[in-house]
Amino acid sequence: MKTTALSRSRTGVVQPQDPGTSRAAAHSGANTPSPRSETPSSETLAARPQGSAPSPRSETPIPESIVAHQASRILELAYPGDRRYRLSFEFLRVYSPSAEVQGHGPGQEVLQTGKRNVGIVRIEPVGNYAIKPVFSDGHESGLYSWEVLHRLCLQHDALWNTYLKRLEAAGARREPD
């Protein structure tokens, strides 16, 4: 299967890189995608934020690599110290930092439904501070800063459970209509 990898040079130009061996996550439970379990992947797209460094004031780690595993719909983030996280495309889509999803203030969040099968068409680098995934449902306004991505990794389980409870309370579903 074809593997495509992208890399950001120090000048900000996105360049193709040699594909490497990659692994993807499988959903370990019926309702909860695990951010850490692994199974082999057959096709991936990758963006590597090389040359990015946190500002002197920031303690937010920068991913060493970001790989979108298309077959399993998992975004894999590798951080310094061999820390790896795996976030489903669905999770990223329903927690998009865009105003369309988050609203313009507390309490204005819009519950995202029917996103179970959403894919990521491509990932665009944004400066040295973020990525912009383009989702298969046309959503492309979320800029995922390194801080946002790291928070999503660390708070995955609690956020995912909150999302499932909100869906249930609204009588909504993860499956598309």
The predicted model gives 1-24 an average pLDDT of: 34
Tens-digit pLDDT profile for residues 35-48: 443 333 434 444 54
Lowest mean pLDDT among 4-13, 18-27, 86-95, 168-177: 18-27
User: Which tokens belong to 154?
Assistant: 């660390």
Lowest mean pLDDT among 27-31, 56-60, 77-81, 160-164: 27-31
- For the whole model, what pTM was predicted? 0.73
Tens-digit pLDDT profile for residues 102-155: 999 888 999 999 999 999 999 999 999 999 999 999 999 999 999 999 999 999
Instruction: Please state whether beta strands 130-135 and 120-126 pair in parallel, antiparallel, or not at all (unpaired).
Output: antiparallel
Percent of the chain at pLDDT above 90? 64
Q: In the prediction, which pLDDT does 72 show?
A: 97
Tens-digit pLDDT profile for residues 79-109: 999 999 999 999 999 999 999 999 998 889 9
Q: In the prediction, which pLDDT does 105 show?
A: 87
Q: In the prediction, which pLDDT does 132 show?
A: 98
**Closest listed residue to residue 87, CA positions, set 162, 154, 6, 10:** 154
Domains and CATH numbers, the chain: 3-170 (3.30.2020.30)
Evaluate whether 55 touches 69 at the Cβ level (below 8 Å): no
